[in-house]
Amino acid sequence: MHKSFIGKGLQDTKMIQRIYPSVMAQTPQEMDALFTKLDGVAKELHLDMADGQAVPGTANNFPLELSDKFTYNAHLMIKNPEKWIEQYGNRMRVSVPMVEEISDIPKYISWMKGKNYLVGFSLNPETSYDVIKPYINDIDVVLILTVNPGFYGAKYLKEPLEKIAQIKADKPGIEVIVDGGMNPTTIKDAVSAGADHFVSGSFISKAEDSKKAMRELQRVVLIKT
């Protein structure tokens, strides 16, 4: 039976810092292999969806067969994210499209709230917080990109972390996730900047020993294993 997250809001759970391994696959078989590898590493995974149009690379760009061993967040680096959400949104804790791909932000927020889904947006490194600032009281999750999106292993950029203080000043209880280049050194920057959760692709998902890599990051964030 598939898990559904309709109606689950952030108010239902205490904010606990988490590290989400990223899943970026080119084939269903590669995705299944990552699920096997990450079993026992984390209970919640971060799906990076890329269609080769909104961003240069592609990832998970095929019909999804998701393992029931995990819960999921999705970063939608795709055109027309509403279509994807219609198909898979009830399997996600939160679906986070690139705000750059949302033509009418108020309409999108209303549509998501009508489905009783959490509302989230991602901000590319060059995208100002000002784009979503007018709507911040209606937003549950903001994903801050500290790499240019679309690939594993892109160059880490520290400057986008400055947006976190701006966001938290306007809405202290909002959930902020940092995604991009997270390793034991860079994750310290994200912790200091006030991030709530962290996505790790190359460091965990590509590691020879993913459990060991997760423990290394957890020690920095001071998450109890």
Q: What is the pLDDT of residues 143-178, one digit of tens each?
A: 999 998 866 667 899 999 999 999 999 999 999 999
Do the domain assignments include residue 3? Answer: no
pLDDT surpassing 70 at residue 10: no
Examine residue 197 and state whether it is found in any structural domain, yes or no.
yes
Distance CA 39, CA 103 (A): 37
Does a structural domain hold residue 35? yes
> Is residue 11 predicted with pLDDT exceeding 50?
no
Answer whether residue 2 is part of any domain: no
Determine, yes or no, domain membership for 135.
yes
Domain containing 41 — which CATH number? 3.20.20.70
Residue 90 in any domain: the answer is: yes
Q: What integer pLDDT is reported at residue 13 of this predicted model? A: 42
Q: How does 178-203 read in b/e, with b if 16+ C-beta sit within 10 Å? A: bbbbbbeebbebbbebebbbbbbbbb
Specify the pLDDT at position 152: 61
At residue 1 the predicted structure's pLDDT band, cuts being 50, 70 and 90, is: very low
Sort 100 into a burial class: Cβ within 10 Å, 0-12 / 13-18 / 19+.
middle
Whether 31 is in a domain gets the answer: yes
Domain count, the chain: 1
Q: If DSSP codes are grouped into helix, strand and coil, which group holds residue 49? A: strand
Q: Which domain, by its residues, includes 139?
A: 16-221
Q: pLDDT for 207-224, tens place per residue?
A: 999 999 999 999 999 865
The helix, strand and coil proportions of the chain, stated in percent and rounded to the nearest 5, come to 35, 20, 40
pLDDT in tens, 187-200: 999 999 999 999 99
In a domain, 9, yes or no: no
Q: What is d(CA 27, CA 60) in angstroms, rounded to the nearest whole number?
A: 7
